[in-house]
Amino acid sequence: MASRTTLSGLGLECGVIQATSTRPVNPHRPVQIASIQTLTARELVVPDVSLFVYDECHHGASEQWQQLALSYKNRGVFGIGLTATPVRADGLPLEIYDDLVCPISMRELIDQGYLVPFTLERPPSRLKKGQLAQRPVDAWNLYAKGRKTIVFATNVLQGTLFRDEFRDAGVTAEMITGETPAGERAAQPFFCRRFGGQDGLFFRHFSSRLRISFS
């Protein structure tokens, strides 16, 4: 777990609760790291907890998250939820929390080098659910032609359509899904960090845990 490495680097003694682990389990360490799925599958409520930190807490509107969060809140445990996207697309509120705290702005994160500067293009009016403001290949030709590009889709079928539209327009494009084998991922120019003549790339993002970086 990346969180264990980060917290250990700050000098915290961490234990890991997970189904299978190559790391020694140490329930006596003051900080325990676990996924929501592991805790609910085991019906496990860690005793003697004084602080519960929820990462990616925008998922907190789901029943699974609510039950776990309430089990600690009802015991008087103080909870902190962390997320970069507190507003859900479905509009459901995160009622488990009492206050919304914004410790840093996007502008400050850009200035400090944590986020990449960007230019946002948006439609003039609100779109209906499932409606596209513009085909990705048309947007690419208008705003990013000739630049290495990542396109996100809602599912594999849509991703396949987008990729084929790029190819039909003469743009080299590939697609990677959550089912793409690791060896095939490594063979893709993007993951090898060798673009060569590839001027367009499609990437289908399945997991919020996947991190992508350019060198």
pLDDT digits (tens, 9 = 90+) for 78-113: 999 999 888 887 888 888 888 989 999 989 999 999
- Contact assessment for residue 167 and residue 200, using Cβ atoms and an 8 Å cutoff: no
Tens digit of pLDDT for each residue in 61-77? Answer: 888 888 888 888 888 88
Domain stops at, among 61, 95, 110 = 110
Q: What confidence score (pLDDT) does residue 204 get?
A: 45
Q: Looking at the domain assignment, is residue 117 inside a domain?
A: no
Determine if the pTM surpasses 0.85. no
Same domain, 41 and 96: yes
Same domain, 44 and 103: yes
Q: Looking at the domain assignment, is residue 215 inside a domain?
A: yes
Q: What confidence score (pLDDT) does residue 203 get?
A: 46
Same domain, 50 and 94: yes
Q: Looking at the domain assignment, is residue 75 inside a domain?
A: yes
Q: Looking at the domain assignment, is residue 41 inside a domain?
A: yes
Q: Looking at the domain assignment, is residue 28 inside a domain?
A: no
- Supply the CATH number for residue 169's domain: 3.40.50.300
Q: How far apart are the first and last CA of the chain?
A: 23
User: What number is the average pLDDT over the span 146-162?
Assistant: 87
- Please, which residues have CB within 8 angstroms of residue 207's CB and are 6 or more apart in sequence? 178
Same domain, 145 and 195: yes
Domain residue limits at 213: 133-215
> Into how many domains does the chain fold?
2
Q: Looking at the domain assignment, is residue 44 inside a domain?
A: yes
Distances (CA, A) of 7 to 27, 47, 122: 16, 21, 38
Domain stops at, among 76, 110, 144 = 110
Q: Looking at the domain assignment, is residue 125 inside a domain?
A: no
Same domain, 141 and 211: yes
Q: Looking at the domain assignment, is residue 182 inside a domain?
A: yes
